[in-house]
Amino acid sequence: METAANAAPAAVIVAIDGPSGTGKSSTSKAVAAQLGLSYLDTGAQYRAITWWMVNNGIDIADPAAIAAAADKPDIVSGTDPAAPTITVDGTDVAAPIRTQEVTSKVSAVSAVPEVRTRITELQRSIARGTELGIVVEGRDIGTTVLPDADLKIFLTASPEARAARRSGELKGADVNATREALIKRDAADSGRKTSPLAKAGDAVEVDTTELSLQQVIECVVTLVEEKRAER
Ligand SMILES: Nc1ncnc2c1ncn2[C@@H]1O[C@H](COP(=O)(O)OP(=O)(O)OP(=O)(O)O)[C@@H](O)[C@H]1O
Ligand SMILES: Nc1ccn([C@@H]2O[C@H](COP(=O)(O)O)[C@@H](O)[C@H]2O)c(=O)n1
């Protein structure tokens, strides 16, 4: 018989939002792995639908054309934090969604309301389906996708720190150009009408500029454990 002492902990839903390069993916994956939770990279889903639009000749400058095609691709996300996956119509797109072309077009596609409705439904159904809980990272998770999340975190970092991190990843990329590209994408994501990048009123803001990745992970793990202990 299951008693209170040996019962499985109730599912915990963690929303992690913030601008580009603040450490959302690295932190979310590590926190989920450490706590035995699922992990969902919602940016990968917007990148996947953008990849499909580009591959199918949809004019990215035409929101009506994007809206008309929004329900066509079948996007499937694997939520194991040790090996997250993303497929479109059965094709593994983990690599092609990270190209410069997709990165430069994703904000235009993700601003189309029909795209957001489609992807938001997908995200909610994935979050509802987890047994132990999930860490979901993106731009509008705490405000729109999962407004009842148990814990909401909003990560920030200076544009300089974020550009330096990304340039390190892109080996030799010009830091100033990277910084300008980050700022441009954040402005587009913050400025769109539907579900913009924003901090939820009840989110905990963590400025990661001066923190190592390990320190950020520890901070978020502690916040999740505190939330669990309160319940
Ligand atoms: N606190 C930190 N200190 C140093 N480097 C970090 C820190 N957090 C993340 N990084 C590094 O910065 C880079 C960007 O991190 P990550 O991809 O997790 O950011 P993100 O917020 O998910 O970005 P995006 O929204 O663009 O996908 C990675 O190379 C990661 O290892
Ligand atoms: N909840 C979200 C998540 C992402 N986006 C859009 O996708 C782009 C790519 O996100 P990455 O995290 O992979 O960099 C991002 O710039 C947004 O345009 C979104 O709208 N909502």
Q: How many angstroms is it from 120 CA to the middle of ligand 2? A: 12
For ligand 2, atom 17: residue with the closest CA: 107
- The answer to whether domain 12-221 has CATH 2.30.40.10 is no
pLDDT for residue 8: 58
Q: Which amino acid is at 78?
A: G
Q: Ramachandran region of residue 26, left (φ > 0), alpha (ψ -120 to 50) or beta? A: alpha
pLDDT, tens only, 102-135: 999 999 999 999 999 999 999 999 999 999 999 9
For ligand 1, atom 6: residue with the closest CA: 213
Residue 77 annotated as lining a ligand binding site: no
State if residue 42 touches ligand 2 by the CB under 6 angstroms criterion. Answer: yes
State if residue 25 touches ligand 1 by the CB under 6 angstroms criterion. Answer: yes
Q: Which amino acid is at 110?
A: S
pLDDT, tens only, 159-201: 999 999 987 776 667 888 889 999 999 999 999 999 999 999 9
pLDDT for residue 21: 94
| 175 Cβ contact partners less than 8 Å away, ≥ 6 residues apart | 163, 164, 167
Q: What are phi and psi of 85, to 5 degrees?
A: -130, 160
pLDDT for residue 6: 54
Average pLDDT, integer, range 13-34: 98
pLDDT for residue 231: 81
pLDDT for residue 2: 45
Q: Which helix (H) or strand (E) holds 51?
A: helix 42-55
Residue 73 annotated as lining a ligand binding site: no
Q: What are phi and psi of 12, to 5 degrees?
A: -115, 130
Residues 218 and 32 sit within 8 Å (Cβ to Cβ)? no
